[in-house]
Amino acid sequence: MDWPDLSLLATLRGHAIFDALSAIEADTLAGAGSLLYLQDGAELFASGDQPDGFYVLLEGALKVQVDDHAVAQIGVGEVVGEMGLVTADRRTATVRAIGAGIVWHLDGRGFEALLSSGDPMATGILLGIARDLCRRFRAVVDEAADRVPTVAQLPGGPKLLDSLQWADFG
């Protein structure tokens, strides 16, 4: 694959999925994906779609929508659609471009081939995605913790805090 701008490749190589790979493996993996150019509002995938691999945002921004409500925003260097590597379940959210953008796409069938053959790249990719999820998870928990003292002082705040169901915090 030809890279129109080496800064895009640098952004991709900065993602955690490349951390556990050798330089040769990283080059191979980067070349195994494809670049998609998105226009403002373009749909990357829609709720109900069959998963087709995962994406890393290299330029621009993405919004994640559930029932037409924005629930999250994806920034440069972040991964989206990674559950497509884990289950065959249909997509549960719609992801659209905010402004023009560029994403790197790794096809799910290519990944399955790596996994089936016992290629260590599959382990490296999954470990990188897991670390990325951990980073996002910790950021969410940290923001929530920062909000707790203020919420606890507001009328109804303690009741809300009691009612929230948290996971194991990692």
Query: Which residues contribute to the site for other proteins (CB under 8 A)?
Result: 71-72, 82-83, 85-87, 115-116, 118, 120, 122-123, 126-127, 129-131, 133-138, 140-145, 147-152, 154, 156-157, 160-161, 164-170
Amino acid at 141: V
Our CB check for other proteins shows the closer of 9 and 121 to be 121
CB of 8 vs other proteins, minimal distance in Å: 25
Closest distance to other proteins from the beta carbon of 154 (Å): 7
Q: Is residue 18 within 8 Å of residue 64, measured between CB atoms?
A: no
- Locate 43 and state its tokens: 């749909």
| Residue 32: CB minimum distance to other proteins, A | 16
Q: Do 33 and 83 touch, CB atoms closer than 8 A?
A: no
Which residue, 48 or 120, has its beta carbon nearer to other proteins?
120
In terms of Cβ atoms closer than 10 Å to its own Cβ (0-12, 13-18, 19+), residue 78 is middle
Which of 61, 161 has the CB closer to other proteins? 161
CB of 4 to other proteins, least distance (A): 31
Which sign does the torsion angle of CA 94, 95, 100, 101 carry? negative
User: 3-state class of 23 per DSSP?
Assistant: helix
Question: Rounded to the nearest whole angstrom, what is the least distance from the CB of residue 158 to other proteins in the complex?
Answer: 8
In whole angstroms, give the CA distance from residue 35 to residue 40: 16
Q: Which residue has the tokens 């670049």?
A: 35
Residue 99: left (phi > 0), alpha (psi -120 to 50), or beta? left
Choose between 12 and 126: whose C-beta lies nearer to other proteins. Answer: 126
Please, which residue, 49 or 59, has the CB nearer to other proteins? Answer: 49
